[in-house]
A and B are shown apart, each in its own frame.
Chain A
């Protein structure tokens, strides 16, 4: 039901040999139904992630409306360049992840593994840059709430901005870390030959999760780093 283009398969005789460990659950009528259901399940999970992060965006907008000047002043302490580079890094990781899914769809085992590893590489780069950003903040005392010791703050309420900044980027960073774990699992399974045009659902579904991580950053970066 979901397919619109012919699979790029080799002759029918080989199809059943692919993904030999794959089998359809006893409660499913077809592999197609199982695939669709799995994908919808992941989308519902992404809905929960959006509402989860959304709460933090709510806190951001609420306090921004109360302390606009403090927020604008505070956000200048964020490094636009590092944030911008991280944005590019995540966009590239999204591309490599999407291509990894495509590689699995087209029976390209080596590319699936390679692109998964490349994605992890970008993700690690993101975390390293994040580490340097955080180190800089710690050094300057630009910390959340009661740990805010930055002497040259123009407004006292700048501490609220940093509270929200650390919660949002911290939880986002945690999701990047989890993503690294998930993609690593995919790379390992791909290397063992689990995936093919017959069965690539885990790659697709981990890919959806990874794209969500990118989506959140797509909003987080301009709101926190560029606008304040």
Chain B
């Protein structure tokens, strides 16, 4: 960037900047060192915990601790706690969409083959994939009712004798 003469321009002022100068938001040093210490502590914790097998919880604990570290880094080191909300919303939304991506992909990857099991128990009849025709069902039903009725008369007749 070349050196710039004093702001007073001759004639038409092509430069903006008539508004407020930017005033920096300066955080006290204790915040920085505080977060630094906490990050180290959490790192030690997460490494120590990894020597014990908690089974399924291994992953959960690791992610929870990592998230706590990440929160401190973003809020303090990256100044999100003191910044316009929009930046934080943008950041969080990226995590939401990432979760959608991972969630749906996992759903697919972990549910492969389930349908084969269901189809194995109820195999499709290729001749009639949607089941017997309604007209055929009705015919069968009527035939069955007729047979039952005939059987009932026969019993009744037998009972009378």
The answer to whether A and B touch directly, with their CB atoms under 8 angstroms apart, is: yes
A interface residues with partner B (beta carbon < 8 Å): 1-8, 15-16, 20-36, 39-40, 43-44, 46-47, 50-51, 54-55, 57-58, 61-62, 65-66, 80, 84, 87-88, 91-92, 94-95, 97-99, 102, 105-106, 194, 197-201, 207-208, 211, 214-215, 218-219, 222-223, 226-227
- Which residues from chain A contact B33 at a C-beta distance below 8 Å? 95
Contacts of A34 in B (CB 8 A): 16-17, 22
Residues on B with beta carbons closer than 8 Å to the beta carbon of A84? 43, 47
Q: Is there contact, CB below 8 Å, between A219 and B36? A: no
Q: Contact: B16 with A4, CB < 8 Å? A: no
CA distance A24 to B6 in the complex (A): 13
B7: chain A residues at CB < 8 Å are: 16, 23
> Within the assembled complex, what's the spacing in Å between the Cα atoms of A80 and B49?
12
Does B145 interact with chain A (Cβ within 8 Å)? no
Contact A105 B24 (CB under 8 A): yes
Task: List the B residue with the shortest CB-CB distance to A21.
Answer: B1
Closest partner residue, chain A, to B31 (CB atom)? A98
A48 to nearest B CB, angstroms? Answer: 8
Main secondary structure of the interface of B (DSSP, over half): helix
The segment from B101-109, B129-137, B153-161 found at the interface with A is B101-109
- Interface contacts (Cβ under 8 Å), in number, total 197
In the bound complex, how far is the Cα of B94 from the Cα of A84, in angstroms?
Answer: 27
* Bound CA span A87–B35, Å: 15
CA distance A46 to B80 in the complex (A): 13
| B interface residues with partner A (beta carbon < 8 Å) | 1-4, 6-7, 14-27, 29, 32-33, 35-36, 39-40, 43, 46-47, 50, 58-59, 62-63, 65-66, 69-70, 73-74, 76-78, 82-84, 86-87, 90-91, 93-95, 97-98, 101-102, 105-106, 109-110
Cβ-defined contact, B91 with A88, below 8 A? no
**A214 vs B3: C-alpha distance when bound (angstroms):** 35
Q: Are A44 and B90 in contact (CB under 8 A)?
A: yes
A61 and B102 contacting across the interface, CB-CB below 8 Å = yes
Q: How far is the CB of B113 from chain A (nearest CB, A)?
A: 12
